[in-house]
A and B are shown apart, each in its own frame.
Chain A
Amino acid sequence: MSVNNEFKPKIVAFCCNWCSYAGADLAGSSRLAYPADVKIIRVPCSCRVNPMFILRAFEKGADGVIICGCHPGDCHYSTGNYYARRRMTLLFSMLDYIGVEKGRARVEWVSAAEGVKFADTMNSFVSKIKDLGENVRLGDIRCKN
């Protein structure tokens, strides 16, 4: 096992089944590498992602959370990503408001055909999270422990 103590971020990616999960599959079958720090959870649609899931991930020690869905206008369920877009915009704004570093959570639209974009997105997200370093603030905003 590696002995260097390089920061290995924990990253949760929520991918919609129809576009982004398939985009991730395409990245895989095209052998486009991105860091192993990213772990994907399959959801039917980006609109299935409850802000509570994201907060829970952060609370449990995730350093970054990314939500991927079909491009606006291309949602398999017609409108799901439009709702997700509003929800996530407000949530991210709130996170920023309480002092969580910008960029810990991200939304990207990746279609089933965009394997390259998927890998690029994950690479850039991981490098952003590495820049931000470990997530300490969201671990406990109340700091009672």
Chain B
Amino acid sequence: MQELITRAKELLENGTVARVLGWKIGDLPYNPEPAFFETAESLDKFVYNGFCGANLSKYMIEASKLEGKTLVCLKPCDTYSFNQLLTEHRVDRDKAYIIGVGCKGKLDVEKIKKTGIKGIVSISGAEADSACDTLEIDTLYGKKSCAYGDAMLERCHVCKGKEHKIYDELIGESRDTADKERFAEVEMIEAMSPEEKFAFFQKELSKCIRCNACRNVCPACSCRKCVFDSNKFDSAQKANVDSFEEKMFHIIRAFHVAGRCTDCGECSRVCPQGIPLHLFNRKFIKDIDELYGDYTAGAEAGSLAPLTDFKMDDAEPSIVNERG
């Protein structure tokens, strides 16, 4: 982390970049938040540790409009999102100075809390440079510990790899964290009966409070104005103004990002109700891979998304009835 701060100061001072986009220490030991740093001094508040899960690529949309370059810290998975935004002309490559930061897996405090640990005062072992296999946690009730892997976000268990797809320079070590089958959860649902599937999603979706956290954090949901907020799909007869969107919001959102979603997992990370929203996106990814050939959004800037492409002998929609 120190190397990162030193380098950032250097770039700020020599005028290469006008600001730094990174994470700032939060009010609790586990909630750093995305922040812009304009001066070398302000970087004292900069932090990069296991809790810096937030994907900063979406902030580059606004940063691209600002004067001068922005230094942006991107984890390997964040670079996919950045590439995808580049493909869609939403960010300006020339306005970004990308430092690819190492990643040893990002942590989810909810998972720690789920192990029964309460009253967290401080956590050690989550530092970017010296990430350990076990987290030592000081609590109001004494010292506790938790295996790093057990505290990791779901998405890190199914990590696409620790290779940065786009960067100007790299700082920091990474550690392989993938130890689960990416599509296992999706397959589990696919194997359910229609009744079970419906019950599962009905239960999950009825938790939704339409806070829009998923939409706001999603790097693919970068529309200037969301269709759900415009009157384009409105109609004169509509009695209850928002009933339609309410009911179909997550399905439509998933469809809108299908083929563009990099599976960064931010939607599930930020959902205050803990809805596994990534299960929608990942289903589309699995279908696309199976039906149209493997495709990873953002692996390469400028690639043609599966839904803007076709083959003459693509499967017919009836294949859905034939499968499973």
Where the two chains meet, the residues of A that have a C-beta atom closer than 8 Å to any C-beta of B are 51-52, 55-56, 59, 72-73, 79, 82-83, 85-94, 96-103, 106-107, 137, 140-144
Contacts and interface: CB of A to CB of B under 8 A. Distances in A.
A142 B206 contact: yes
Contact of B314 (A82, A93, A96): A82
A64 to B, nearest CB: 14
B251 A94 contact: yes
A59 B251 contact: no
B248 interface: yes
B316 interface: yes
Contacts of B288: 90
A94 B202 contact: no
A56 B244 contact: yes
A79 B197 contact: no
Contacts of B25: none
Contacts of A144: 206, 246
Given A83-B307, A89-B316, A141 B202 contact: yes
A86 B310 contact: yes
Interface of B: 189-190, 192, 194-202, 205-206, 208, 227, 233, 243-244, 246-248, 251-252, 254-255, 258, 280, 283-284, 287-288, 291-292, 306-312, 314-321, 323
A55 B317 contact: no
Contact of A89 (B190, B196, B314): B314
B112 to A, nearest CB: 30
Contacts of B233: 52, 56
B49 to A, nearest CB: 36
Given A82-B312, A98-B197, A89 B206 contact: no
A145 to B, nearest CB: 9
A142 B208 contact: yes
Contacts of A107: 316-318
Nearest to B290: A93
Given A90-B284, A90-B288, A94-B280, A83 B197 contact: no
Nearest to A91: B255
Given A85-B316, A85-B317, A89-B315, A94 B248 contact: no
B304 to A, nearest CB: 12
A141 B200 CA distance: 10
Closest 9 CB pairs of A and B: A99-B198, A99-B197, A82-B310, A107-B317, A92-B320, A89-B317, A88-B317, A55-B248, A98-B201
